[in-house]
Chain A
Amino acid sequence: MSTTEIARHWRLKAQRYQLVGEVCPHCNGKIFPPRDVCPHCAEEATQPPFRFSGKGEVYSYTTVHNPPEGYEESAPYTVALVKLAEGPLITAQLTDVANSEVEIGMPVEMVTRKLRSYGEEGLIIYGYKFRPQLARI
């Protein structure tokens, strides 16, 4: 990977490491990823950042056996649409769970993991994945 791509990933660090989105000042809708126009009410939505709890449940999932370039070493892996507790859906890999154990509605929580690497001397990209919620005592 060329060094110019570093900036591209660096710009997203608040989203990738902390699930930072926004709350719409007009309709109170929770927005992830952040965007300048609210997807719920189409009003302008530039707001102080809002950090999502990282809790959610599996909305849908599948296994990737034939991965895109750059993801070969982790295949097969499970990807999911996760419905965050605050509302929005998010696309992410599931981790620390076998695909056969996943089901729709399963409670999950965000963790930070390696997303991909760009070869031996290349950058390693970290970001959110989701694992089954650990039991609370």
Chain B
Amino acid sequence: MRDVSIIGIGQTPVGEHWDKSLRHLAFDALVAAKRDAGIERADAIYVGNMLSGEISGQAHLGALIADFAGLRGIEAIKVEAACASAAAAFRQAYIGVASGLQNIVIALGVEKMTDDVGSKLTAGLASAADADYEAIHGVSFVALNALIMRRYMHEYRVTHEDFAGFSVNAHANGAGNPNAMFRRPISKEAFIRSGMVADPIGLLDASPMADGAAAAILCPAEQAREFTDNAVRIKASALATDSLSIHDRRDPLWLQAAEDSAKHAYRQAGVGPQDIDFFELHDAFTIMSALSLEAAGFAERGKGTWLTGDGEISLEGKIPITTRGGLKARGHPVGATGLYQIVEAVQQLRGEAGANQVANARLGMTQNIGGSGATIVTHIFERADL
């Protein structure tokens, strides 16, 4: 296996892109990444996406995007793992380069959600759950998270207010990210006052659905200097799965796939949670932030919300999370989100995070969660000049 580096990144702002189609969004991110890396051709492109068939009536995304982006002929396929699609696509790109089979590879995540809003989109998202035993009962994706959150609050004697810190932190950081959908801070009072979506999940517990695309370009670490002086090394890449449905989990309050993929990643990188300088976790809902921090070893079981107390998750804290707004404020274009997390981690490690820069960031971790925890992908990145 070869060491692999990231030599280019690109992204579109996250938002409601009424004027852009799926292919145009993908193209914009791809062109930006190619320009950043200074490459023209690539050996392969892996496209992370969840809902193109459901919402845009478009399958066969690999070939479509390769063709539209002027890369006709190269190897290209779509990778689907619900909301973890983009990190799963990135991992395929990593495997391609690490194995020696491919040299320059593009990982792209794209999602076009706003062409269909309301119940059809809700049904599309619910297809990440078990169709025969969860979705058939009219369970929306928000509802699944609400079921976990209510039991978590009951079991660990945590109140809704205790989750506020996650959203307040995400919005504070989103304010400094020009690509974020929401760029205004919120107060704890606003969090408490906001209406219920699916009790106990309130409006400000949930990330917004949106359109967007993000991309990264990978090459063997030993060749990275030919392209750039600020390549970022991929120290670990791990994907683990769990039961598709919550009711089949041994413990519905524990993200086993997060623990498994994080442990595997720590082992590959030869580090532990105490070495990680910032953590881009998957805050689709505040409950997922708590569960992710616990499973990845940053907090004890049932105490994930405690970390929000003394500013420990802020940019200056012990373990900064969602440093560019997270899913909550940057936005959550589901099948693209994993690559937004990775692109933002690269910006941090290059020292390009502007107002959101984590001082002396050396090791960054990203974690992308598919469904209610059935696919979880964890990556660890390192600044290359070390």
Contact = CB atoms under 8 A, between A and B. Distances in A.
B122 A62 contact: no
Contacts, number: 107
B122 A91 contact: no
Chief secondary structure at chain A's binding surface: strand
Interface residues of B, number: 36
B226 interface: no
Given A62-B198, A71-B138, A104 B122 contact: no
A3 to B, nearest CB: 18
Contact of A81 (B118, B197, B252): B252
A12 to B, nearest CB: 6
Interface string B190-207: 000000111111000000
Nearest to B119: A69
B198 A91 contact: no
Contacts of A24: none
A68 B138 contact: yes
A79 B143 contact: yes
A104 B154 contact: yes
A11 B349 CA distance: 52
Interface in A89-137: 89-93, 99, 104, 115-116, 125, 127
A26 interface: no
B137 A91 contact: yes
Contact of B142 (A15, A66, A69, A72): A66
Of all A-B residue pairs in the complex, the 5 with the closest CB atoms, nearest first, are A62-B146, A68-B123, A89-B247, A71-B138, A60-B151
13 contacts: A39-B243, A39-B248, A62-B147, A63-B198, A64-B198, A66-B140, A71-B119, A79-B139, A79-B147, A89-B246, A91-B247, A93-B137, A127-B137
Given A39-B248, A70-B138, 14 more contacts: A60-B147, A60-B151, A60-B154, A64-B140, A64-B143, A72-B119, A81-B246, A91-B133, A91-B139, A91-B147, A92-B137, A93-B138, A115-B136, A115-B137
